[in-house]
Structure 1
Amino acid sequence: MNFRSACTSFSAATLALAAFLPTTAPALSQDRTRQDRPGQFDFYVLSLSWSPTFCASQKGDGNDQQCGATRDFRFIVHGLWPQYEKGYPDFCRTDEPDRVPRSVGQSLFDIMPSMGLIGHQWRKHGSCTGLGQREYFAKVREAFGRVRLPTDLSRGETSVTLSADEIEQKFIAANPGMSRRGISASCEGRRLEEIRVCLTKDLQFRDCAEVDADGCRASSITLPPAR
């Protein structure tokens, strides 16, 4: 298992249940010889998905909460993932319930538009943070607010095509303290899939060699319009 497949290699069948989890090709290895324990990790990755890319491949698949005719999401939170310097923990044992109550999840619908996504992110990643459910999702909200979205990218009114470096540079320009070694753009074919930003445990920007090396290698990437 690797960094990408841990968080983005969900099957289409699972996507129908989770309502949002994009896929990418495997790249980095995960060390499964150690036991993952809540709270024992090095930093976070905030994964911001470009919703129009996901929705372009999901027509008719029952993801109306995110991709319905009245929905026009742009960047949304795929997840806030605890990471080791190499690899990541997942599905940690915790005293918290596996199920996330709707009363907790619905407050996140503006940035994580389905209970399937919210529940999966808690079980696989939130459980390893050492935080309770409410604390974890408050951290997700705080992390999302920490990153300024470049206006010309996040507007989503028309299609935009740039190189991965140009997309990353726009985020860096909008976020003082962010470096090119602390952000990675991933793609689905030649469409932007996600922006991954590395953050310390107190949500300061930091470098992350493994995540940075796992970026898109396409010569140009398109952000499809929201509508």
Structure 2
Amino acid sequence: MPVAAGLGLALLLVLGGCKPAGNSGQKAEQAPATQSSVPIGTGFDFYVLSLSWSPSYCAADAQEARSQQCNGGRPYAFVVHGLWPQFERGYPEDCPTDSPRVPEREARNLLDIMPAVGLIGHEWRKHGSCSGLSQDDYFAVLRAARERVNIPPEFIRLQDYLTPDPDEVERAFLKANPNLPGDGIAVTCDRRYLREVRICMNKDLTFRTCDEADRRAACRLPKVVMPPVRGG
């Protein structure tokens, strides 16, 4: 299950660690108790929800550290990188659309879960355009997908560096999301940093397995770095 990703990494990978942080007493972010109906896309088989660890993005490149995402005062932790339509093998991207531009006002409505207007526009053109949905419906599904996932409490406001085994991060997400199958999540790493947690979902946003992704994309490092959340 190859995943379309701006980083050029294959499908869902989950990475991270569960070392207790100073704020480990916080409750996990809770998904709704019941899943409301969402618009059902066409022309693909399932989604990958990619959650990026924003502090790693900011730490990996000094130039990016000056961006609004990294220097804008918001305490970004896990943010939505994208919601990617997938085939059982391969994925569509850059599909024709009559609405290539996302109005800035609409993009700003997503800044609580996505860190930059430019990223929002890019994700629509590359991935959302292949969902068979209108812009409004695609972003509604993207938000609902994010709300479907509980973030483990130790990652909500991480106050110090962690160097977990990637499997620890995966186990933390599985514990926080009991219906998520172990082969439906993957962690990605880049150099020494944890970069993303990727989760497979059906078109109705129920969790599903992704055997090929889990085999191909798992982070192979014994330990990864999770820089702390800054700002706020």
The TM-score range, normalised by the shorter chain, is 0.7 to 0.9
What do the CA deviations read for 1:98-141 (whole angstroms, capped 9, x no partner)? 01001210000011111110011000100010111011111111
CA displacement at 1:46 relative to structure 2: 0.2
Structure 1 segments of 4+ aligned residues over 2 angstroms from their partners: 57-64
Q: Structure 1 residues 61, 182: closer, same or farther in 2, change over 3 A?
A: closer
Change in 2 beyond 3 A, CA 1:46/1:27: closer
Give the 3 Å change call, closer, same or farther, for CA 200–107 of structure 1 in structure 2: same
Instruction: Give 1:27 deviation, angstroms.
Output: 8.6
Shift of 1:70: 1.7
- Asked if 1:8 is matched to 2:17, the reply is no
SS at match of 1:196: strand
Cα offsets for 1:26-64 (capped at 9, x unmatched): 699xxxxxxxxx821110000000000000133344753
Unaligned runs of 5+ in 1: 10-22, 29-37
Deviations 1:54-109 (A, max 9, x none): 001333447532011523210000000000111101111233x1010012100000
CA distance in 2, matches of 1:60, 1:182: 33
Report the equivalent of 1:173: 175
Q: What CA distance in whole angstroms lies between the structure 1 residues aligned with 2:190 and 2:225?
A: 10
TM-score, L = length of structure 2: 0.81
- Going from structure 1 to structure 2, the CA distance change for 1:177 and 1:27 (only over 3 Å counts) comes to closer
1:45 aligns with 2:48: yes
Which residue number in structure 1 is paired with residue 91 of structure 2? 88
> Which of 47, 55, 60 is the matching residue for 2:58?
55
Amino acid at match of 2:44: F
Once the two structures are TM-superposed, the CA of residue 3 in structure 1 deviates from its matched residue by 3.4
What are the superposed Cα offsets for residues 153-181 of structure 1, whole Å, 9 maximum, x if unpaired?
A: 23221112221111101000000210110
Report the Cα distance in structure 1 between the residues aligned to 2:110 and 2:42, rounded to whole angstroms.
23
Q: Secondary structure at the match of 2:124?
A: helix
Once residues 124 and 114 of structure 1 are traced to their aligned partners in structure 2, the CA distance between those partners, rounded to angstroms, is 16
Q: Show structure 2 runs of 5+ residues with no match.
A: 13-40
Matches within 5 A, 1:93-104: 93-95=96-98, 97-104=99-106
Tell me, in whole angstroms, the C-alpha distance in 1 between the residues paired with 2:137 and 2:11.
31
Match in the other structure for 2:226: 223
How many residue pairs get aligned? The number is 201
**Partner amino acid for 1:55?**
C
State the shift of 1:190 in Å. Answer: 2.0
Q: Is the 8 A contact 2:50 2:82 kept in 1?
A: yes
* Percent of paired sites with the same residue: 48
Quickly say closer, same or farther: Cα 1:69–1:108, change in 2 above 3 A.
closer
**Map of 2:28 onto structure 1:** none
User: How far 1:220 moved relative to its partner?
Assistant: 1.2
* Higher helix residue share: 1
- Residue 79 of structure 2: SS of its match in structure 1? strand
* Counterparts of residues 19-38 of structure 1 (less than 5 Å): 24=9
Q: Following the alignment from structure 2 to structure 1, what is the Cα–Cα distance between the partners of residues 149 and 11? A: 26
Partner residue of 1:117?
119
Q: Which has the higher contact order (CA 8 A, sep 6+)?
A: 2
SS in 1 for 2:129: helix
Structure 2 residue aligned with 1:108: 110
> What displacement does 1:218 show?
0.5
